[in-house]
Amino acid sequence: DGGITQSPKYLFRKEGQNVTLSCEQNLNHDAMYWYRQDPGQGLRLIYYSQIVNDFQKGDIAEGYSVSREKKESFPLTVTSAQKNPTAFYLCASRGTGVNRVEAFFGQGTRLTVV
């Protein structure tokens, strides 16, 4: 089945640690996105990528990094510079051109600082 797979579902990070969240899609979508969701604040855009080897900062990119080496994959690293990383992280993809649809989301990764 086509879709977006995020892993792990739950992730625990110690203070000062970098962690990487995985996002893989087999929808052949060009564009991929990372959002952060906090209670009562909706979804906020962290990074997005429209094409392989290119990505752009969103509204809250500080303390995060991404890569887009393959069309199918868009991993997010939460660095130690992110002071308040505990949140629900959502990856999304979107087709462009004739495959254009609105954002299709993965099931999320819940990150907790311990």
Partner 1 sequence: QKEVEQDPGPLSVPEGAIVSLNCTYSNSAFQYFMWYRQYSRKGPELLMYTYSSGNKEDGRFTAQVDKSSKYISLFIRDSQPSDSATYLCAMRSSGSARQLTFGSGTQLTVLP
Binding of residue 52 to partner 1 (CB under 8 A): no
User: At its nearest, how many Å lie between partner 1 and the CB of residue 80?
Assistant: 26
Question: What is the contact mask toward partner 1 in residues 72 to 111, using x (rule: CB under 8 A)?
Answer: ----------------x-x-x-x-------xxxxxxx-x-
Q: Which residues of 7-35 are buried (b: 16+ CB within 10 A; e: fewer)?
A: eeeebebeeeeebebbbbbebebbbbbbb
Give the DSSP H/E element, type plus range, for residue 6.
Answer: strand 4-7
User: At its nearest, how many Å lie between partner 1 and the CB of residue 95?
Assistant: 12
Nearer to partner 1, 59 or 69 (CB): 59
Binding of residue 48 to partner 1 (CB under 8 A): yes
What CA–CA distance (Å, rounded) separates 94 from 49? 10
Number of residues this chain uses to bind partner 1 (CB under 8 A): 26
Q: Give the interface with partner 1 as residue ranges (CB under 8 A).
A: 4, 6, 31, 33, 40-45, 48, 50, 56, 58, 88, 90, 92, 94, 102-108, 110
